[in-house]
Structure 1
Amino acid sequence: MSYLMSILMGLIQGVAEFLPISSSGHLALFQAFFGMEDVEANHMFFTVLLHFGTLISVCVVYWRDILDMIREFFLGIAALCGRRDTGVTPPPARRLVLLIIVATLPLFVMVFLNDAISTLFANPILVSCALMATGFVLYFSDRMAKGHKTAKNATVVDALIVGCGQALAVIPGLSRSGTTISVGMMRGFDRAFAVRFSFLMSLPAVLGANILEIKDAVAAGFPMEELPVYLVGVAVSAVVGYFAIRLVKSLSDKGKFGKFAYYCWAVGLGSLIAGIVKFGILA
C-alpha cells in the first residue's frame, strides 16, 4: 500500500464516519467503481486500525463525558452491590451509561445477520438507494420540533429506539450518525444532546465491531514493513475525524444538519446512474 492510498482511506474514514454521509456506503462505492476491493482484502488489519483512529477522535472531543461515565459506571455498580437506595435521582452521567448500554442492545441481533449484510456491500445500486434514503432522513430532521430531552429525562424506550436506528444503519449507505441523531430528535432529544448521544454510543458499537474483526485481521497477517504506512492513515483518520465531529456539532446547533441531504442525494443519484451504466443493471 502506498502512502497516498493510506492518506486517502484515512481521509474517507475520518470524514464519512462522523459526517452523516455513511462511511460504509462511500467505501463500498469506492470499492465498486475504483477497484479498491483488494485494499480491504489484503490490508484487513489496516481497516481495523482506521476505525480505532476515529475512536480516538470521539475520545478527544468527549473526554470529560467519558471520564464521568467511567466513574459513574463503577459508582453505580458499587451502589447496586451495596443495595443502597437513598431515593436520590442518579446523576446524568450514570443515566447516560444506562442509556448507552440499552441503545447498544439491538446491535447484538445484527451479529446473526452479519453474513447477509456483508453481501450488500457488493451491490452499488442498493448502496446508492440507501444514500438517497439517508438524504431524506437528514432533510426532515431539521424540520422537526426542537426537543428538550437530555440525559436527565430521556427514557430507556428512547434509547432503545435510537439503538434500533443504529442497528438499521449497518446497511451500507445508511449513515449511522445521521440516522441516530435524527431518530434522537424524533424522540424529543435536545439537538446538542442528540449529537452527543450519537457519538458516545458509537464507542461500544465501533469497538465491539472491531474486536470481532481483529481475529480475522490477525489471521490475514500483519506485514510489519507496512506499519509506517498504516500509522499515517490512522493519524489522518483521527485528525480529520476530530474536525468532522466539530462540524457536525456546529451545524446541528444551527439547525443546518439537513444540508448534508443534498450531498447524499447527489452522490446517491450519481452512483445509481453510474452503476446502471457500468454494471448494466437494466440491460
Structure 2
Amino acid sequence: MKRLAASCFGLGRLPVAPGTWGSLPAAIVFGLMCHFGASPALTSIAMAVLALAGSIVCVKFAPATIAATGKNDPGEVVADELAGQAITFLVCPFLALGTASSRQAWVTAAAGFVLFRIFDIAKPWPIHKLEKLPEGWGILADDLMAGVCAAVGLFVCSRTGLLEYVSESVHLDFSSLNTLSAAFLGAVQGLTEFLPVSSSGHLVLFESWLEFNPEESRMLLFDMATHVGTLLAIFIVFHKSIVSFAKGLFTCGKYGRNAVEVYKRSPSVHLMVLGCAATVVTGTLGMLLKDYFVAARDNLKLIALMWLVTGTLLLITDWRKNARVGLRQFALWQAVVVGLAQSAAIMPGISRSGATICVAILLGLRRRWAIEFSFLLAIPAILGATAIELARNIGEISSGSLPISSVLAGMIVAAAVGVLALKVLIKTSRTANLRFFAFYCYILACFVLAWGLR
C-alpha cells in the first residue's frame, strides 16, 4: 500500500515517462478549476492541499519503495512530482486569471506543466544539489524547488503578456476542424480508442464540455480519417502477429482437406473462426441496438454510470491471476461471449478494448492472447463500422470539405498516439495493472456526476 500511494496509485508504474504522468493530475485539476470559474484563492488552496499531500506521502512512503527496489530515487515514486507541480500553480492569485477565458486558463495550465517538467528533468543549480538529502527528503526537495522555479517562470510569462498572446494565437476551431483542432481530436481518438476508457464516452464529454458542434459532413469525413489512423496503429504494433496469421491461412492446406481437422490443427484457421464468430455477434447486435445506444448519448449521467461499470470490470479482471488458456484452447462459445462484450461497447462509457480484454481474461485466456485477440477483433469492427457509415452517408461526406492538412493531422496524430497507447496498454495488461485505468474511470465518472454537465 505504501508503494502504491508513493506511485500516485499506479501512475508511477506506467511504462513511459512516469514523472510526467505523476505531474499531470495537478495540472488537470488546476485547468478544470479555472475552466469552471473557481476563484484564484480557492484554486491556490486546492494546489496547497495537493502539494502538502504529495509531500507527506513522499517523505513517509518513499523509503519503502527505496528499500524494495534498491534505488535511491525510484522512478515509480511520483508523489514528489505531484507536489512540485502543485507548487507551480500556487501563484494563481498573481496570474490575473479572474477574467481570463477558458482557453487562457488551459494555456496557463499547459505552460505551468511544461515549465515544471523542464526544470524537473534538467535540474539546474541548485535543484540537483537537493537530491543529496537522505531518503524521501532527497526525492521530494528537488521537485519542490523545480516547482518554485516553474512558478517564477509562469509568473513572468503571465506578467509579460506571453500567456495571453499564446492563448489568442492558439485557436481550436471545432466548428471548422482546423489543423490544430484536428490534431487535438486525433490525439483524443488515438488515446481513448485503445486505452480501456471509452473513446465514445470521451467524445460525448468533449461535445458537451467544449461546445463541440462541427458540421456533420465534416465530422463524418474526419471520423474516417482518424479510424484509418487507429487501424494503422494496430498494424504497426501487431504487424508480426498479423503477418503470421495471414501466412497461416495461406498454408493451411498442409493440414488436409477436412474442414474440422484443419480447424483443430491450424492456429490461423482456428483464430479466424473465433474472430468471425465474435464479429458476427458484434455486428448483429450492433445494428439491432445502435439506435438505442445513440439515444443514450444525450444522457451524460448514464454514460458516467457506464464508466463506473468499465472501472469495476477492470478491477475484477486484475484479480484474475490464473488465466492460462491459449488461443488454441479458446472455445467457440467463449469467442461469442467476447463478441457480446464488444457489442456492449457501442454504449458510450463502455470501453471496447476494456470489455473484450477483460471478458477474455475472465474466461481464462492468457493476458497476452487476450490483448492480441481484442485488437484483431478491432480490425473488422472498425472497418465494418466505417463502411456502414460511408454507405449511409456517402452524400453528406461527398458534399463536405476538409482541408487536406486537417485530414492528415487527425490521421497521423491518431496513429502516433495510438501506437503509444497500445504499448502502454500491453504492458499494464500483462502486469495486471488495469486497475490504474479503473481509477481513472471512477474519477472521471465522479467528476461528471458531481459537476452535472448535462
- With the length of structure 1 as denominator, give the TM-score of the two structures: 0.90
Ranked by relative contact order (alpha carbons within 8 Å, sequence separation 6 or more), the top structure is 1
Structure 1 residue matching 2:327: 3-state secondary structure: coil
Q: Distance in 1 between matches of 2:215 and 2:193?
A: 18
Moved more, 81-90 or 41-50: 81-90
Residue type of the alignment partner of 2:333: V
The aligned counterpart of 2:377 is 201
What are the equivalent positions in structure 2 for 1:116-265 lying under 5 Å apart?
Answer: 116-222=292-398, 223=400, 226-265=403-442
Q: Distance in 1 between matches of 2:415 and 2:266?
A: 31
The aligned counterpart of 2:448 is 271
Structure 1 residue matching 2:325: 3-state secondary structure: coil
Q: Distance in 2 between matches of 1:202 and 1:143?
A: 25
The aligned counterpart of 1:91 is 266
Residue type of the alignment partner of 1:237: A
1:209-245 per-residue CA deviation (whole Å, 9 max, x = no partner) reads 0000113443113455512211111000001101111
Structure 2 residue matching 1:149: 3-state secondary structure: coil
Q: 1:248 to 1:87 in 2, by over 3 A?
A: closer
**Preserved contact between residue 40 and residue 47 of structure 1 (Cα < 8 Å):** no
**Preserved contact between residue 141 and residue 182 of structure 1 (Cα < 8 Å):** yes
Identify which of 34, 37, 42 aligns with 2:210.
34
Alignment gaps of 5+ in structure 1: none
Q: Distance in 2 between matches of 1:180 and 1:106?
A: 13
Q: Distance in 1 between matches of 2:423 and 2:393?
A: 31
Q: CA deviation at 1:66?
A: 1.6
Q: Distance in 1 between matches of 2:304 and 2:203?
A: 12
Q: Distance in 1 between matches of 2:250 and 2:278?
A: 19
Moved more, 33-42 or 248-257: 33-42
Q: Distance in 1 between matches of 2:305 and 2:411?
A: 30
Residue type of the alignment partner of 1:169: A
* 2:267 pairs with 1:104: no
CA RMSD of aligned residues (A): 2.2
The aligned counterpart of 2:84 is none
Q: 1:228 to 1:102 in 2, by over 3 A?
A: same
Identity, in percent, stands at 29
Identify which of 193, 212, 219 aligns with 1:43.
219
**Preserved contact between residue 186 and residue 411 of structure 2 (Cα < 8 Å):** yes
Q: Distance in 1 between matches of 2:302 and 2:224?
A: 24
Q: Distance in 2 between matches of 1:159 and 1:196?
A: 13
Alignment gaps of 5+ in structure 2: 1-176
Residue type of the alignment partner of 1:213: E
**Preserved contact between residue 146 and residue 191 of structure 1 (Cα < 8 Å):** no
The aligned counterpart of 2:181 is 5
Name which one, 1 or 2, has greater alpha-carbon Rg: 2
Q: 1:234 to 1:39 in 2, by over 3 A?
A: farther
Structure 2 residue matching 1:43: 3-state secondary structure: helix
Q: 1:226 to 1:91 in 2, by over 3 A?
A: same
Residue type of the alignment partner of 1:162: V
The aligned counterpart of 1:59 is 235
